[in-house]
Amino acid sequence: MKKKYILNFVKADSPIKEAVTKFGGQPVWIEKPEWAVSRSTGKPMRFIAQIRLDEDLFGQTGSKMAYLFVNDETGENGEFISNTYDPNGGENGVIIQPDGSNPKSIELENGPSLQEWKVPEGETRRRAFDCEYAVQKSSLVEEEKPVYAEISDDEEFMPEYENKVGGYPLFLQDEEYPNSRKNNWNLLLQLDSTSVPFELNFGDSGIGYAYLSKDGKTGKFLWQCS
């Protein structure tokens, strides 16, 4: 079994400037800024979250924080960049500090942030606004590895895709890890795009999975959709 905690999101009243787990706003860097950039455009990707690497979950690796970035811009000719699901495609990035083995980045302190859609007072159409959310974490609990049941006319497997740190990934499609050496990875973060209060483009009702290597020095991200 592995340990996990469940995430509940709380809208921040003011910018969060502590080295804690949070979503949106601007990163709180442990070392000098390392903002992940798109392989195809060279532009800064959108900051999604920072996850504190608690020793109770990930061991004594020396790593303190993971920063998740995902590209949601278009290419130079206006084309949609679709391979943000690929853990090795260069259109998402997980930066580990301190001393991580990180993807391409630039020394940018502030950049594109997580967004939410809302209708401003006095208007009738929704617009996107930068947002920031603190998290309320459940107590650490142990989780058994999920067993996937067959779906039939008489029996339907209805998994619960929790927003969580740690534990085991509950896959929307087939089992998928950053590479074939799946035992080298721990689940860092699982995000259900249908149950968060902010905008995530993980395809059709997608689930995002961030991974942390066993030595705590490398992070990867992928998503699956229905």
One DSSP character per residue, 36-69 reads EB-TTT-PBPEEEEEEE--HHHH-S-S--EEEEE
Per-residue pLDDT of the chain (226 residues; tens, 9 = 90+): 999 999 999 999 999 999 999 999 999 999 999 999 999 999 999 999 999 999 999 999 999 999 999 998 754 555 566 789 999 999 999 999 999 999 999 999 999 999 999 988 888 898 999 999 999 999 999 999 887 665 555 555 567 899 999 999 999 999 999 998 889 999 999 999 999 999 999 999 999 999 999 999 999 999 999 8
Does the pTM exceed 0.85? yes
| CATH of residue 87 | 2.30.320
Q: What share of the chain is helix, strand, coil (3-state, %, to 5)?
A: 5, 35, 60
Total domains in the fold of the chain? 1
Is residue 91 within 8 Å of residue 74, measured between CB atoms? no
Segments forming the whole domain that contains residue 46? 2-224
Alpha-carbon span 205 to 169, nearest angstrom:
16
